[in-house]
Amino acid sequence: MSSCDIASPKNSMMPFEEAMSLMFNNINTLPSVESISLTMSLGRILAADITSPVNMPPFDNSAMDGYALRSDDLKNSMSLTLVGTAFAGTPYELAVESGNCIRIMTGAQLPQGCDSVIMQELVDVDGSKITMNSAVSKGNNIRHCGSEFSLGDTVLKQGEVISARHIALIASLGLKTIEVFKSLTVGIFSTGDELVELGLPLKAGQIYDSNRFAIIAQLQKMNMNIIDYGVIKDDPQLIKNAFEQANLEADVVITSGGVSVGEADFTKDILQEIGNIDFWKIAMKPGKPMAFGRLSDSLFFGLPGNPVSAMVTFYQLAKPAIQKLSGQTLKESLRLSATLTNNIKKRAGRLEFQRGIASTNLKGELSVSTASSQSSGMVGSMCNANCFIILPQAQENLSVGDNVIVELFDSNLQG
């Protein structure tokens, strides 16, 4: 039995969810940590919780351009005497006495004595006499110290992928450097005598290697360090050398092709000799055959050769596994209900990831049609699509008007 402990009998297809959990159970380590500048952190993964070193906001301040006052004063008179000004960054240093008010700008610290701000549109100004046209309650238009979070609060969790939103928050705390997980190194190659490098002419029976470029592009979106080993011929010694080198140099090794039944057996033998690899038949479409396991020093994914299958299995299976290995906390992908605008033929038995074109009408209602071709060899069909239509394993034919589940492509596929 290999490291993956496959219980499924030979030739039966493994449910997608089972493949997913078998992979996840094999990934229990975290990458090492490095400290980097916040400005270089986009797309990286937080290696430690971020706790706030300050109260946010750090002081009571005005949410408006207006006048800061003592709200109780207005019980006696709606007119107050203007005694000074507070700017953002330049506080009014004195306490404001009863009967007085100050001009205050948005973001300026609330001076001692004041408990509220009235917006400037609601006052009449006559020299230093300020008359309010409206009552003001205590606390009006004040952003209170610590109202967003308090010193010591956890504001971001380890495993978060840093986006522009997170960078804004971390910068607001004054943190110049942060701890992130080191990016993983992924080695990738394609195997196949029929595969030709880009730019070279095709001879009879040859095709261009497209899978490697599709996977590399996705890995770039995931901030991986990539080692491109190119195309390896169907030669046992060359393949063995490539696996051994990739195993030494990379944390993750990815290949495509050669994992279907009846495919060159030496690939299987080599993999099983130098690691613990299982060849799975997953109950999914596209992408039935796939290999997964461990080499001595790396995780291994053997993707199917058909270009759409390679792209979909990478996206739906390898990507979340690599994200977990990267230290990322995985979030459920957002799945939406959409109305089908064409019929779909489907037999029960496999979970299908059909390529779809989703759009909304003026009311924001989502509908979806299938992309022109669903052949796993036709990579162009991915380019017309913007989503997967996810059809459960037991689902059969569907008709126009039926509701289906749609998962919009994320930035790995959408750009």
Provide Rg for the chain, Cα atoms: 30
Distance of alpha carbon 315 from alpha carbon 334, whole angstroms: 14
CB count, 10 Å around CB of 31? 16
Cβ-in-10-Å burial (0-12, 13-18, 19+) of 124 comes to exposed
Tokens of residue 280, six digits: 């799975």
By C-beta, is 52 or 211 nearer to ligand AMP? 211
- Residues 339-378 as x/- pattern, contact with ligand AMP by CB under 6 A: ----------------------------------------
> For ligand AMP, which stretch binds (CB under 6 A), given 189-197, 268-276, 343-351, 384-392?
189-197
Question: Would you count residue 287 as binding ligand AMP (CB under 6 A)?
Answer: no
Least distance to ligand AMP, CB of residue 50, Å: 41
Distance of closest approach, residue 163 Cβ to Mg ion, in angstroms: 38
Q: Which does 184 bind (CB under 5 to 8 A by kind): Mg ion, ligand AMP, none?
A: none
Establish if 381 lies at the interface with ligand AMP (CB under 6 A).
no
* Neighbour-count burial for 85-106, b at 16+ CB within 10 Å, e otherwise: ebeeeebbeeebeeebbbbbbe
Cβ 370 to ligand AMP shortest distance, Å: 22
CA distance 22 to 16: 10
Q: Quick one: tokens of 5?
A: 């402990």
276 binds, among ligand AMP, Mg ion, none (CB under 5 to 8 A by kind): none
Interaction between residue 311 and ligand AMP (CB under 6 A):
no
CA nearest to 260, candidates 374, 376, 349:
376
Contact in structure between 56 and 149 (CB atoms under 8 Å)? yes
CA distance 183 to 24: 19
Whose tokens are 């992928």? That residue is 161
Measured between alpha carbons, how far is 44 from 249 in angstroms, rounded to an integer? 21
Q: Per CB under 6 A, does 66 bind ligand AMP?
A: no
Residue 237 Cβ, how far from Mg ion at the closest point, in Å? Answer: 17
Q: Which of 111, 286, 307, 356 touches ligand AMP by CB under 6 A?
A: 307
Q: Give the rounded distance of the alpha carbon of 42 from its chain centre.
A: 11
Q: Does 302 bind ligand AMP (CB under 6 A)?
A: no
Q: How far is CA 365 from the centre of its chain?
A: 25
- Binding test (CB under 6 A) with ligand AMP, winner from 111, 159, 187, 257: 257
Helix, strand, coil percentages in the chain from 3-state DSSP, rounded to 5:
20, 35, 45
Coil, strand or helix: which one is 22? helix
**Among ligand AMP, Mg ion, none, partner that 354 touches (CB below 5 to 8 angstroms by kind):** none
> Are the C-beta atoms of residues 280 and 6 closer than 8 Å to each other?
yes
CB of 264 to ligand AMP, least distance (A): 8
Partner interacting with residue 183 (select from Mg ion, ligand AMP, none; CB below 5-8 Å by kind): none
Interface with Mg ion, residue 327, by CB under 5 A = no
Residue 190: name its binding partner from ligand AMP, Mg ion, none (Cβ under 5 to 8 Å by kind).
ligand AMP
Q: What is the DSSP letter of 316?
A: I
Of 347, 356, 355, 354, nearest in space to 393 by CA: 347
Q: Which of residues 255-274 bind Mg ion (CB under 5 A)?
A: 257-258
Q: Which is nearer to ligand AMP, 168 or 198 (CB)?
A: 198
Shortest Cβ 385–ligand AMP spacing (Å): 18
Residue 304 in the binding site for Mg ion (CB under 5 A): no
Question: Which amino acid, one-letter code, is at 265?
Answer: D
By the rule CB under 6 A, 313 interacts with ligand AMP? no
> In which region does residue 223 sit, left (phi positive, over 0), alpha (psi from -120 to 50) or beta (all else)?
left
Using the 8-state DSSP alphabet, how is residue 280 labeled? E
Asked whether position 192 contacts Mg ion by CB under 5 A, the answer is yes
Helix (H, G, I), strand (E, B) or coil at 371: coil
Nearest to 20 by CA among 315, 263, 256: 315
CB-nearest residue to Mg ion: 257
| Contact mark string toward ligand AMP, 190..229, x via CB under 6 A | x-x-xx-----------x-xxxx-----------------
What SS3 class is residue 7?
A: coil
Q: What x-and-dash track marks residues 126-165 binding Mg ion by CB under 5 A?
A: ----------------------------------------
Q: Binding to ligand AMP by residue 187, rule CB under 6 A?
A: no
Residue nearest to ligand AMP (CB): 305
Residues that bind Mg ion (CB under 5 A): 192, 257-258, 305
Residues that bind ligand AMP (CB under 6 A): 190, 192, 194-195, 207, 209-212, 256-260, 263, 304-307
